[in-house]
Structure 1
Amino acid sequence: MNVPESEQWLTTTKGRIATDGYSWMQAVHWAYKYSGFTTLCSHGPQSVNESTLLVAWHLSQLDPCRPGIGYLIRRTRLSERTVQYHLGLLREIGLLVYRAKGTRVADEGGQASEFLLTIPPAFDEGVHARTGPSEQYIRALHGIDPAGMSLMKRLARMARRAVRRPVKRSAGRPVSAPRACTPMGVGCSTSSPTGTSTLPSESKLASGKHSSAASKKSPVAKTKRSLNAVGRRYQLANQLIIQVPWLARANTQRIAWIVRHVADAGWTAIEVMAVVGQEDVAQRVHRPSGFLAARLRGATELYNTPERRAAIVTWWQDSRRAEQGRHTEWDGQWQAPSSRAVARQVDTALSQLQAVTPPEDDHPGYEAGDDGLVDLQQLTRDEVIDLRAAAQKDPLLIRTTIAACGEHYARRLFSNRLVDQLLRLTGTGRLVLHGGLA
């Protein structure tokens, strides 16, 4: 159940991304009450406790989830070392993974690490959840078996309760932590740190209906304000920054100003992504805000009805499925590409892989098998290690091998782990393979 450091990254995690902070808090309470988790670290807290719940609650309110240690110290009133311990506990149990690790640059100042809220496989097994593959969230929740209904209802009630600070840190009475608000101070942010606002929480899947006791008893729920126009702009900007790879480092205020027209017209994030994705994106976007503004110029006049926007979303989703289908492994014999330029590149790669070099210094060359490919059993262990190290530095070597010799041959040569990391990184804008060479 303890997750090693090599699997505490988005590219290597075995968990699934939480669709919203409320569903994630259900998994946090499960780890607190029912998991029996114990850390392998010899110092600091050995299991999830109330301070871990407090830190997790503040993380669930952030969008995107990029908390600085100083921010968590101010909000939780815990010490710096204690905050670091509890972040490590959440990563070790599989509830947090790195999307980008922070930096400590003396001249430019450090940047906080960016996390994604994840749900470990042990939680799905404990609550009898049915999951399946998902194009956006690694795995998606499809339902809860009857055996796990009662447990999910208890976890839903726990997640709705206000998280209280530890007694030794409080001022004599329990204090509920405030919600994180939008940059303009117009209300509390309701957008998810890892998903869209249209996805249901897992409590609805568990019980089949939504009846919140907190909404009937708590006076805060009755006076909760909805987002105004400025808040909706910032909400749409945050969702785009999370879901569009080339907007990952864009300024939220600038993006909110650019999307003000489409936000005021009631556009959703997927509608904006469909309009922007009509044309291929450049290999490198120097000014994401300017690129987005150019793609959205005149969009409100062209797609001025919900029907037109729904049609462009359907077309965009179909094109993405077709693109994914072109990259899916097919059955049958490999056929040469129709493009002459691509055919020349494939021929060059094949000639390099299949060439039998003359013996030098009494070292024989590699013989090709019946399929025309070099038999991998002829390679020594040091040669395989060197090839995998080169592939980890340059993932293009794996892509070339898959195109020339097939995915099965590439997995035998470079290992399933490196090939799986490369396939999962496709389309995310990141091409860094983590881990050792074993």
Structure 2
Amino acid sequence: MLAAAQWVSTTTGRITTCPYSWMQAVHWVGGSGLYAPSRNYGPKWGPTTVLIAQELSALTECRPGVEYLARKLKLSRRTVQYHLDMLREAGLLVYRTKGTRITGSIRQASVYERVIPVEFDEALGIRTVQRDETAPAYTRVPIGIAEEGRKLIGKLAKKAARKVRRSRRRTPVSGRSRCTPMQGGTSASSPAGTSTSPSETELASGSTSHPTQKKATRGPQKLNKVGRRFQLGQELVTNVPWLQKASPCRVSWVARDCADAGWTWREVQAAAEEHSPIDPADTRRPSGLLAHRLKGVHLLYAKPEARQQLVLAWQESTAQEHFRHSGYDAPAPHAAPDDVEVSEAQAAFGAAVRAVDASGSSHAASTSDQTGLMYAAVSIDLKALSPHEIGMHRAYAADDPTYVRSLLDTLSDTAVRQLLTSKLVDQALAALRLDTPTLAPAF
């Protein structure tokens, strides 16, 4: 059947009323020899074709995915595609809607209709009728069969009722000749022309004292360390939105320490998005970002209880993040402030720095001085700060981890790390998690 006739609107066959009758047509096409493939390469019509048709007949909606069939039947994707093409060319499958294969979007599987070709009805003498004259021709239904076709339809019914299973691969037998059990030589002929009979003392006694061999009861195999790594990598790529474009093998290598420690994919996502959410559209190299976010977390959350608390805190923070940003319309994030506002903010920052210097020590400033310094840093450009002003911020961050948390609530994570360095920010966040009151200066 040509490609133009492989649609439900152009087919000459009729839509099957039940999967059982459709399998009869499948066996008839395979045994009649009328189908000739359009290609001279690839697999031929055989048990694998019937096996795939059997899976299609069991679907309520004939919408099979190539990945689903390949995984369930343990076949390659190309083999499944070849046999689906043969079923369409034989007139047994027609498109209702064709799937999409657009890169970067969700791929949709094709929706088929199981069709009985008109050649099958003519060969067996099946009479059909169109009950609704306004309906398309493919909606006609069978009402009887000729006497000469009853015997053949009975044979096809037995084949359709028999479940086809995938043949197990057998280990090939070695080409060398086998040894005989009675001390004979390994060759078919001997130089003497006769074989030597065994002695009476070497004959078996015939006793049946050997116990019955127990049957091996094997369950599902347990994954080893490498299998667990690949399993976690595949789960992360499947379930985490910003990792869907990454390679499962590379993600498995990045998260290998977490996999060895027994982490779940949800715990890995919570650890990666603990400080700030990740937008899939802004992620250019997901595996590199994951490696940066997971550095050392398997040591920080070594116990399962700590990981459970991490997941709970991450879920609550995610809900709050969506709540704060819902309906928020702001100007462009890179819009520069007015010169007057910059001047006022720099003046306020200078006043805050002078007040801290007047207090006698940069590490003993009051809470009000820290607050003024923080809000001055929010309003001005980070490039406009002097080394002395940056040192004041880092001194506050080293002494008081809550100061880092206040900046993170006001500024972006990137801006805070540029101002305080990533080392100070990570130390402050770790101290807040471990309830450590103070930190040692890191600069």
Structure 2 length-normalised TM? 0.36
**Higher Cα radius of gyration:** 2
Structure 1 length-normalised TM? 0.37
